[in-house]
């Protein structure tokens, strides 16, 4: 019996080998047909756009992009520039992409975010990461209603509250940085330190007292998983970075939803707002009360639940976190490289604020720091944190008279490339371009796309500039610093926003008498 079983098993393997051998040519033909179809499909979509003539099956240029994103996007920009067309093409992980260098065409994309044209996606595979109900995926009246409800979160009163929080967090972290540098000065890399500073700032400004110490630690771990997943190949399978990032986002949103519920109860009790979610819940409860008092029922109450608002809070945190880290690092690097600018910043801040008196910088003083604000805006222009703003074509869209973006293509308007068009000597770091006399922020407004444009322009840009101004004022007043310069230290690295290649490694020491 045992012999017969083994015999049948051998016959089965032989039959399987025969079947595989017989089907081999067909499988090869099918594979060859698929590869040919993919190449022809890419070339048809590419049409006259500059870009590679052959793409690696499925992956396309994904590996070169992940291995050296700076070189990859510089190459796309060069193709768009040198061709004179302002756009170029490529292929990434099964998706046809269009890179837009032209400011005019970038505005055309931003101005046509609607169901039958372009959909803002934030990341090529953002819906899988952020969820379908993310603010950036909204259109028309739903999007307008949400932005209206968000507006009180960035009122003058709210921003003044945030300035106090931002300042406390910045000062605590500067104290820690100086302690790390003492007693014998040694160079320290600021990227992760700035990331931690901004994460604590965002947590405290947005969620205030509703995050416990343990919740913050888990929050930090999950946010790191999310960041790693952003830069990974989007394999949505257990064990892969993208999959772990999705789970981390779900946990982050659950945590923030709990903060929403707590805030709602506190605002219902009549307490004063102490963070962004408080301002939001105060306004939400006011709208609900007005809707209930409206006998005619004309005004519907807000429909956002705790989980949905928690998701929007995560959107704010993501938008603020990595972009702000990038700007803080470039501010340090550029001020070190331009001592004349640094001296003017220090003089302006010293004329308005004396740290030895122990009083914090007020919102009014931040507004009076005109030159420091110009420096902050020039940092953002010169090194826009989010260099591109990806959109997907919901339908075929005529971008120009001679080229139609095919349905499903991912389009990358480049804020970085626009920053170096139009402005006077755009390759020069020159904060005076934002002075009242030159007013290049108005004259060349169309080229300043660091905060986007159109209906989805960043709602928190005043908050972002305030944070950068505060950091510059405190850092330059309280810290002496010198860049630890190495070959290529100022080259751009993507992480995923842009940062100095050396993570902005500096020597730090306390400036003047102890005052932190």
Residue 206 has pLDDT above 90, yes or no: yes
Q: pLDDT at residue 7 above 60?
A: no
- For residue 1, pLDDT beyond 50: no
Between 375 and 309, where is the model more confident?
Answer: 375
In whole angstroms, give the CA distance from residue 82 to residue 23: 48
Q: Which pTM value belongs to this model? A: 0.89
CA distances from 275 to 19, 160, 204, 244, 309 (A): 68, 11, 7, 30, 14
Alpha helices, DSSP H, located in 294-406: 306-337, 339-352, 363-368, 370-382
Whether residue 413 contacts residue 397, with contact meaning beta carbons closer than 8 Å, is answered with no
> What token pair was written down for 57?
């099956």
C-alpha pair distances (Å), 43 with each of 73, 96, 368, 466: 20, 10, 55, 46
As a whole number of angstroms, the distance between CA 316 and CA 312 comes to: 6
At residue 216, does pLDDT exceed 60?
Answer: yes
Name the band, by pLDDT with cuts 50, 70 and 90, for residue 21: low
Binding site as annotated, residues: 458
What is the Cα–Cα distance from 147 to 425, expressed in whole angstroms? 36
Q: Residues of the chain with pLDDT > 90: what percent?
A: 62
Structure token digits, residue 178: 């100086």
How high is the pLDDT of residue 3?
45
How does pLDDT run across 220-269, given as a tens digit for each residue? 898 888 888 877 777 878 888 889 988 898 899 899 999 999 999 999 99
Average pLDDT over residues 151-166: 94
Residue 23, pLDDT score: 67
- 3-state DSSP call for residue 497? coil
More confident residue, 64 or 137: 64
338: pLDDT confidence band, cut at 50, 70 and 90? Answer: very high
- Within 10 A of 445 (CB to CB), how many other CB atoms are there? 12
Contacts of residue 143, Cβ cutoff 8 Å, sequence gap at least 6: 135, 455, 456
What pLDDT, on a 0 to 100 scale, did the predictor assign at position 88? 98
Instruction: Decide which of 502 and 151 is more confident.
Output: 502
Lowest average pLDDT, out of 167-176, 414-423, 507-516, goes to 507-516
Provide the mean pLDDT of the chain. 89
Mean pLDDT of 281-302: 74
Annotated binding site for heme: 458
Strand order through the sheet with 505-510: 188-189, 505-510, 479-483
What Rg, from alpha-carbon coordinates, does the chain have? 26
Query: 314: closest CA among 390, 249, 244?
Result: 249
% of residues, the chain, pLDDT over 70: 91
**Separation in Å, CA 181 to CA 15, 79, 176, 328, 511:** 72, 44, 9, 19, 13
Higher local confidence (pLDDT), 247 or 352 = 352
When pLDDT is averaged across residues 310-318 and rounded to a whole number, the result is 84
* pLDDT tens per residue, range 261-271: 999 999 999 99
């Amino acid at each position: 019996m045992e012999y017969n079983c083994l015999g049948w098993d051998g016959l089965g393997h032989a039959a399987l080998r025969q079947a595989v051998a017989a089907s081999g040519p067909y499988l090869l033909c099918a594979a060859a047909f698929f590869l040919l179809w993919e190449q022809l499909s890419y070339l048809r979509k590419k049409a006259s756009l500059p870009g590679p003539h052959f793409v690696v099956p499925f992956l396309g240029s994904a590996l070169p992009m992940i291995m050296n994103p700076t070189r990859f996007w510089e190459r796309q920009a060069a193709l768009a520039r040198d061709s004179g067309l302002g756009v170029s093409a490529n292929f990434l992980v099964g998706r046809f992409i269009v890179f837009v260098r032209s400011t005019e065409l970038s505005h055309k994309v931003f101005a046509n975010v609607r169901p039958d044209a372009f959909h803002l996606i934030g990341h090529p595979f953002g819906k899988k990461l952020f969820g379908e109900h993310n603010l950036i995926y909204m259109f028309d009246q739903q999007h307008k209603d949400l932005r209206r409800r968000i507006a009180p979160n960035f009122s003058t009163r709210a921003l003044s509250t945030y300035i106090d929080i931002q300042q406390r967090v910045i000062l605590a972290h500067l104290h820690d940085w100086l302690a790390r540098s003492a007693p014998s000065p040694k160079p320290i890399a600021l990227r992760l330190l700035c990331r931690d500073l901004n994460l604590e700032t965002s947590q405290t400004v947005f969620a205030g007292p509703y995050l416990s110490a343990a919740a913050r630690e888990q929050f930090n771990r999950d946010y790191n998983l999310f960041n790693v997943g952003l830069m990974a190949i989007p394999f949505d399978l257990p064990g892969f970075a993208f999959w772990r990032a999705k789970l981390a986002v779900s946990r982050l949103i659950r945590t923030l939803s709990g903060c929403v519920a707590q805030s709602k109860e506190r605002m219902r009790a009549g307490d004063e707002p102490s963070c962004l979610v408080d301002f939001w819940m105060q306004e939400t409860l006011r709208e609900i009360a007005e809707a209930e008092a409206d006998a005619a029922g004309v005004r519907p109450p807000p429909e956002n639940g705790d989980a949905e608002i928690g998701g929007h809070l995560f959107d704010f945190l993501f938008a603020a976190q990595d972009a702000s880290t990038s700007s803080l690092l470039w501010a340090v690097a550029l001020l070190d490289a331009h001592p004349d600018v640094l001296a003017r910043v220090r003089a302006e801040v010293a004329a308005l604020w004396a740290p030895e008196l122990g009083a914090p910088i007020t919102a009014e003083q931040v507004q009076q720091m005109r030159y420091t604000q110009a420096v902050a805006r020039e940092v953002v222009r010169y090194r826009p944190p989010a260099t591109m703003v990806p959109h997907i074509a919901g339908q075929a869209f005529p971008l120009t008279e001679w080229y139609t973006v095919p349905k499903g293509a991912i389009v990358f308007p480049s804020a970085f490339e626009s920053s170096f068009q139009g402005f006077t000597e755009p390759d020069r770091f020159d904060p005076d371009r934002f002075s009242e006399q030159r007013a290049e922020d108005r004259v060349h407004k169309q080229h300043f796309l660091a905060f986007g444009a159109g209906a989805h322009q960043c709602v928190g840009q005043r908050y972002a500039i305030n944070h950068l101004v505060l950091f510059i004022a405190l850092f330059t007043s309280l810290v002496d610093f010198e860049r630890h310069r190495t070959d290529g230290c100022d080259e751009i690295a993507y992480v995923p926003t842009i940062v100095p290649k050396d993570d902005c490694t500096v020597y730090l020491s306390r400036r003047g008498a102890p005052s932190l």
